[in-house]
Amino acid sequence: MSESKHATGSTAVTGEDEVVDLCRDLIRIDTSNYGDHSGPGERKAAEYIAEKLAEVGVESEIFESHPGRASLVARIEGEDRSRPGLLIHGHTDVVPANAADWTHDPFSGEIADGCVWGRGAVDMKDMDAMTLAVIRERMRSGRKPPRDIVLAFLADEEAGGTWGARHLVDTRPDLFEGVTEAIGEVGGFSFTVNDDLRLYLVETAEKGMHWMRLTVDGTAGHGSMTNTDNAITELCEAVARLGRHQWPVRVTPTVRSFLDELSDALGVELDADDMDETLAKLGGIAKMIGATLRNSAAPTMLDAGYKVNVIPGQASAHVDGRFLPGYEDEFHAEVDRILGPRVTRDASRSHRDKALETTFDGKLVEAMQLALRAEDPIARAIPYMLSGGTDAKHFADLGIRCFGFAPLQLPPELDFAGMFHGVDERVPVDGLKFGVRVLDRFLDAS
């Protein structure tokens, strides 16, 4: 992004100048989401963003779905209002963090080793800050985007978006009228192949999600008595079967496109029928890609009993289930087969979101590629599937075509996948500034 000038000729503050401070400020607002009705930090974050937008003349509105669970939406008029609009969305909530586990306090926004450290540094207050920085610089310099831009800074993404994106889509779809495309997390980050090639993975698909509560009813009794109808025993055996199950590889259109693009970029054949060998060639992104090849069901919580000498009459478990686009029915049928007839899946106490998939083409994709190459001559954008889920699932219900594009140029040694919900989450300062430049160019080209 070139420096803008005031009429007096003095140098104006650019997006690159302030993106780091914006990111640090947002990290310092504790927006931990514990999966319940709490979330007062989200209101504080929304008010901070509203203030930063108001400083440059952008009006916004804050929506509370529950006290403290606040999201913010703003619309910026484009040069050609007859064109469909673009949504840029990011969430302000973060998963909790235990400060004792971290090198630097997770809510300090400290700068060390060339990075901004803290919970949300990559998930996703970095993109929130980059978006704010770009919009503020453009508004100060009077540069309208080519078309309308809708900004959405959302609550509750880390718990499925019920109090954030889902609430807005259900109650205020008019806020997104005329919007046909969107960008958000998780995509646009770099993977360095060699000195002549850096790949940028753009998300075009997401696995579906089903957080399941499993229950088994048994016969309650005294712990000293033999009991062949122990709910805990039955549940643990079923959960162990599910957790150890080897799901078959399913190559979706997005994964096929990813392999084709990667094969061409690397000049080597990547065999979709031998994914173990293929993953071995992917280095640091193998973990992220490997999770998009299969359905999965990971047991995460167990609950049973209230006293050591009492056999409870019921035991329960929670499972994080993820299914590939086009394979939801297969996933549920297989889960039920593995669990057996004694285990009940409680639909009333589970969270479920669909899988998404779009193609890697069109003017918006071309704008991403052009913006990346303008800032990184060895850049090549390729599609990939995210193993997790984002607020894109909710906006897709409005007919919006969604992509994950939060551009970051990363050092090859950084374990980017490990930053998400991990200890010592951090984002490179240079990466933030790179993202500001790319996003600014992207808006002009989109």
The predicted pLDDT at position 258 comes to 84
- CA distances to 116, 122, 189, 363, 409 from 416, in Å: 14, 9, 9, 28, 11
- At which residue do the structure tokens 């319940």 appear? 36
The predicted pLDDT at position 3 comes to 45
What is the distance between the alpha carbons of residues 446 and 443, in angstroms, rounded to a whole number?
A: 5
Please state which CATH class domain 205-353 belongs to.
alpha beta
Residues in CB range of 158: below 8 A, 6 or more apart = 33, 35, 91, 93, 94, 95
The predicted pLDDT at position 418 comes to 78
Rounded to two decimals, what is the model's pTM? 0.89
Beta carbons of 136 and 128 less than 8 angstroms apart:
no
Q: Which residues in 339-351 are b (16+ Cβ under 10 Å) and which e?
A: beeebebeeeebb
15-184+388-445, what's its fold?
A: Aminopeptidase (3.40.630)
Take residue 378 and report the two structure tokens written for it.
């060895």
User: What angle is formed at CA 190 by the lines to CA 187 and CA 195, rounded to 5 degrees?
Assistant: 160
Beta carbons of 138 and 152 less than 8 angstroms apart:
no
Beta carbons of 371 and 190 less than 8 angstroms apart:
no
Delimit the domains of the chain by residue range. Answer: 15-184+388-445, 205-353
- What is the DSSP-derived secondary structure letter of residue 157? G
Take residue 197 and report the two structure tokens written for it.
């090639």
| Nearest CA-CA partner of 396 in 340, 348, 325, 332 | 325
Q: Give the dihedral sign, CA 384/386/391/393.
A: positive
* Chain center to CA of 425: 14
> Prior bond to 255 cis, omega within 30?
no
The predicted pLDDT at position 39 comes to 63
Beta carbons of 254 and 385 less than 8 angstroms apart:
yes
Element of type H or E holding 225: none
* Chain center to CA of 340: 33
Other Cβ atoms closer than 10 A to 308: 6
| Nearest CA-CA partner of 203 in 364, 58, 349, 65 | 364
What is the distance between the alpha carbons of residues 318 and 301, in angstroms, rounded to a whole number?
A: 5
- What is the DSSP-derived secondary structure letter of residue 306? S
pLDDT, one tens digit for every residue, the chain (446 residues): 544 433 444 468 899 999 999 999 999 999 999 877 666 699 999 999 999 999 999 999 999 999 889 999 999 999 999 999 999 999 999 999 999 999 999 999 999 999 999 999 999 999 999 999 999 999 999 999 999 999 999 999 998 899 999 999 999 999 999 999 999 999 999 988 888 999 999 999 999 999 999 999 999 999 998 899 999 999 999 999 999 999 998 989 998 888 888 788 777 777 666 777 776 666 666 777 778 889 999 999 999 999 999 999 999 999 999 999 999 999 999 999 999 999 998 866 667 889 999 999 999 999 999 999 999 999 999 999 998 889 999 999 999 999 999 999 999 888 887 788 889 999 999 999 999 999 999 999 99
What is the distance between the alpha carbons of residues 149 and 183, in angstroms, rounded to a whole number?
A: 11
The predicted pLDDT at position 177 comes to 97
